[in-house]
Structure 1
Amino acid sequence: MRRAWMVPVLLMISGSGAAVGLTAQGRLGTAVALLLLFVLLAVVHSPLVFPRSIGAVEARRRSTADGRPIVYWRPGCAYCLRLRFRLGRGARRLHWVDIWRDPEGAAVVRAANDGNETVPTLMVAGRPHVNPDPDWVREQVLSRG
């Protein structure tokens, strides 16, 4: 849990420190703009922008029942973030597993990637797809209802 929030917390601390320094110099407008930028970066790199994660076992059970793909991801991953934003509202139709919170999910990813925790790893019908093109993922979501 702590690992997922490390980057956002560091961004908030850095942004706050920079804003305080700029405020001390009398540059209030710049301080506010910089603080807002760091807050935005912290939110984007937090787990908050992703649909609620579930465990790998539950994701497999649900995927078997409804045929929807499983996305193995981790906070702070730029490729995961790109996939999430490119999918838009369709991201809710996938089953998301945070490999930093679920050791079994991390094991699935390592098994699919020669021991590496390369994310996003998408499981479609039991087959792994590493860092897939978001447009292809969108097609998979639409074709599986």
Structure 2
Amino acid sequence: MMRAWILPMLFVLCGSFVAVGVLLSGSPGEAAALLVLFVLLAGVNSPLIFPRSIGALEAQRRSAIDGRPVVFWRPGCTYCLRLRFRLGRGAGRLHWVDIWRDPEGAAVVRAANEGNETVPTVVVAGRPHVNPDPAWVREQISS
């Protein structure tokens, strides 16, 4: 759980230090703008943007029942963010597995990617697809 929050906490901490430095130099407006920017970066890279993650075994079980794809992701991954934002409201119809919170999910991703934890890895009908086009994923949701 804690590993997923390391990057967002670093953004807030670094942003605070930068904002204090700018504030001490006499630019309170610029300091506030920088702090807001760092907090937004922290929010985008936090687990809050993604639908609630479930375990890999549960996601695979649910996918077998309802046929919906499983997305293996990790916080801070820009490709995962791109997929999430491009899917829009349809993202909630997928089963999301955070590989930093679920060792079984990380193992599935490594098995599909020659030992690498390359995400997003989307599993559709038992076949893994590494960093697929969001339009293709939308098609899989609707079919």
Which residue does 2:101 correspond to in 1?
A: 101
TM (norm. structure 2) is 0.98
Deviations 1:111-143 (A, max 9, x none): 111111110000000000000001100111111
Q: Tell me the secondary structure at the aligned position of residue 128 of structure 2.
A: strand
Which residue does 2:78 correspond to in 1?
A: 78
Aligned-residue offset at 1:48 = 0.6
Q: Tell me the secondary structure at the aligned position of residue 38 of structure 1.
A: helix
Give the whole-Å Cα distance in 2 for the aligned partners of 1:60 and 1:142. Answer: 19
Give the 5 Å matches for 1:100-119.
100-119=100-119
Give the whole-Å Cα distance in 2 for the aligned partners of 1:89 and 1:16. Answer: 33
Which residue does 2:28 correspond to in 1?
A: 28
TM (norm. structure 1) is 0.97
Give the whole-Å Cα distance in 2 for the aligned partners of 1:3 and 1:61. Answer: 26
Which residue does 1:19 correspond to in 2?
A: 19
Deviations 1:85-117 (A, max 9, x none): 000110000000001111111111111111111
Give the whole-Å Cα distance in 2 for the aligned partners of 1:113 and 1:20. Answer: 43
- Across the aligned residues of Structure 1 and Structure 2, the Cα RMSD in angstroms comes to 0.6
Deviates further, 19-28 or 127-136: 19-28
Deviations 1:12-45 (A, max 9, x none): 0111111111111110100011000000000001
Which residue does 1:64 correspond to in 2?
A: 64
Give the whole-Å Cα distance in 2 for the aligned partners of 1:29 and 1:71. Answer: 40
Aligned-residue offset at 1:2 = 1.8
Which residue does 1:88 correspond to in 2?
A: 88
Tell whether 2:103 aligns with 1:126. no
Q: Tell me the secondary structure at the aligned position of residue 97 of structure 1.
A: strand
Report the identity percentage. Answer: 75
Give the whole-Å Cα distance in 1 for the aligned partners of 2:22 and 2:119. Answer: 38
Which residue does 1:136 correspond to in 2?
A: 136
Q: Which amino acid aligns with 2:40?
A: L
Give the whole-Å Cα distance in 2 for the aligned partners of 1:56 and 1:35. Answer: 36
Deviant stretches of 4+, over 3 Å: none
Alignment length, in residue pairs? Answer: 143
